[in-house]
Structure 1
Amino acid sequence: MKFLIIVFLSVLLTACSSAPPEPNTGVKQHSLSNATQTKSQLLQMHREWKGVPYRLGGNSKSGIDCSAFVQLTFKNQFSRQLPRTTDQQKNIGKSVSKGQLRPGDLVFFKTGWSSRHVGIYIADGQFLHASTSQGVMISSLHNSYWKQKYWLARRP
């Protein structure tokens, strides 16, 4: 009997020594390395959210702020979890120069003394964001306002 207990305990301990396999959710994390696919997914998000009004602290189609829109886009389109605030988002990934932007890079702007804005680079100088004046939209980095306010970019 003592032998059976020892065998049972050793099997039990061995079985617990490794982590259980990750559940297969059927969702593959998108690497953002395929520029054409990334651009397509960002344009899809624009079609679904175009014109949704800006609302500070909002995170739904009744109103959304810029960092929540970025967070939601990465979750829905790329199965990636990003921090909630612009201040947190500016610290993720790696720094990238304006001339090296790729679809899916985060672009940041200093819009006031202490206020910041974030959007997602699409391609050809265009970025997707939740603007305070027109809601979710696509804007140009070459626009005089955004060109003047541009601050930095990060590749998540």
Structure 2
Amino acid sequence: MKSYCYVVGAAMVLFAAGGSASSIEATGILSEESYQAAVESGFTAEQIQQIQEMPDFSLENIQEEPAARSAVPFSTSQKNQVVAEAKRHLGKPYAWGGKGPNVFDCSGLTRYVFLQVTGKNIGDYTVPQEKAGEQISVDQAEPGDLYFWGTKGNTYHVAVAIGNGQYIHAPNENEVVKVNSITYFKPSFAVKVIKNNNDNNSKLVSYRTHLQDFGWGSYLQSGQTSGSIGKAKRLEGIQIKLDPSISGSIQYKTHIQSIGWQVWKSNNELSGTTGQAKRLEGIQIKLSGEAATKYDVQYRVHSQSYGWQAWTKNGQSAGTQGLAKRLEAIEIKLVPKNTALPAGGKPAFIKK
């Protein structure tokens, strides 16, 4: 089974070829010329119908978000380099089968970007690119991951995630390589090609939480989940520390049931309570000193009734206030300065 990136007017689609479309009349967005090309390529009636239903990628229907064009500072992080490499090709024209460096189709762009950054050929079209890493949900995608559209094994489009729900892709023959948002055209799933522990940031921050009925858990590291999910247990306290190699400190304060916001704590001090059966409801975390000039601290919480809330960073509030909802789990990570936040989740902070 082989897949092809096929362009029809303002719609781009990649299909697994098979069957015949010879009995289909040329209707809708398919011109006579495009219809003949589809028949010759072996598209089925179902595939032709999918082409008809593809969203319009024209400039009139998609508003590009200018902020996404801002350059990503150089970092040793390969995932940041993937984003930077993808941005380097913004504005280049689309060409069916184009694999760079001057023209691209959707899978040609992603192939070229990863080849330049990692030296790895992730595949010539979307289906093999699905197998280039670990499949994850759209909400779990981070900058440098891949977004896919379609069912696994029969995907028809691929793009590079760049954070904040945005991606860079080569849409169709009437467009150039550009930025778009999942709020307009949501991917079906994502793939993590470069694992987080390859970024050498996984041991920069450690943390542990005090959990109802369980007490203190073990120290976990960058991006790991501390607490519990699906057990209806409250977080009661937290300790956070930086790796000794980092100059500076990490500070944090929590919002506690019937107490409110505590004062700032730092460098592995306890924030929250133990032995008082009081839930944590919100948290703020920030860096100071040299650490704050080199890194951002990103974090998200899993709250009662809301589940995972969106990632936030650098002293902003996460969780809830005034709603009597417990924090149940937290993830924290240090990333190079100005790294985009991962997309997805309910608002990072919900206040009554």
Q: Are 1:43 and 2:43 counterparts?
A: no
Q: What does residue 189 of structure 2 align with?
A: 152
Letter in 2 for 1:141: I
User: Which residues of structure 2 form unaligned runs of 5+?
Assistant: 1-75, 194-352
Partners of 1:77 and 1:92 lie apart in 2 by: 14
CA displacement at 1:45 relative to structure 2: 3.2
Q: 2:149 aligns with which of 102, 109, 112?
A: 109
Check whether the contact 2:94–2:104 (CA below 8 A) recurs between aligned residues: yes
Structure 1 or 2: larger helix share?
A: 1
Unpaired runs of 5+ in structure 1?
Answer: 1-32
**Matched letter for residue 112 of structure 2:** L
8 A Cα contact 2:79 2:145, kept in partner:
no
Moved over 2 A (4+): 37-41, 60-63, 77-81
Counting matched residue pairs gives 116
Partner residue of 1:98? 138
**Match among 111, 114, 126 for residue 86 of structure 1:** 126
**Identical pairs, percent:** 27
Provide TM-score, normalisation by structure 2: 0.30
TM-score, length-normalised on structure 1?
A: 0.64
Q: CA deviation at 1:128?
A: 1.3
1:7-156 to structure 2, matched below 5 A, reads 34=77, 38-39=79-80, 41-46=82-87, 48-110=88-150, 116-132=156-172, 133-143=174-184, 146-147=185-186, 150-156=187-193
Aligned-residue CA RMSD (Å): 2.5
Q: Which has the higher strand share?
A: 2
Q: Work out which of the two has the higher radius of gyration on C-alpha atoms and give 1 or 2.
A: 2
2: CA distance, partners of 1:115 / 1:155: 16
Q: Secondary structure at the match of 1:103?
A: coil
Assess if the C-alpha contact under 8 Å between 1:42 and 1:77 holds in 2.
no
Shift in Å, 1:119: 0.4
Flag the structure with more relative contact order, 1 or 2, with Cα contacts below 8 A and sequence separation at least 6: 1
Describe the shift of the 1:105–1:115 C-alpha distance in structure 2 as closer, same or farther (beyond 3 A): closer
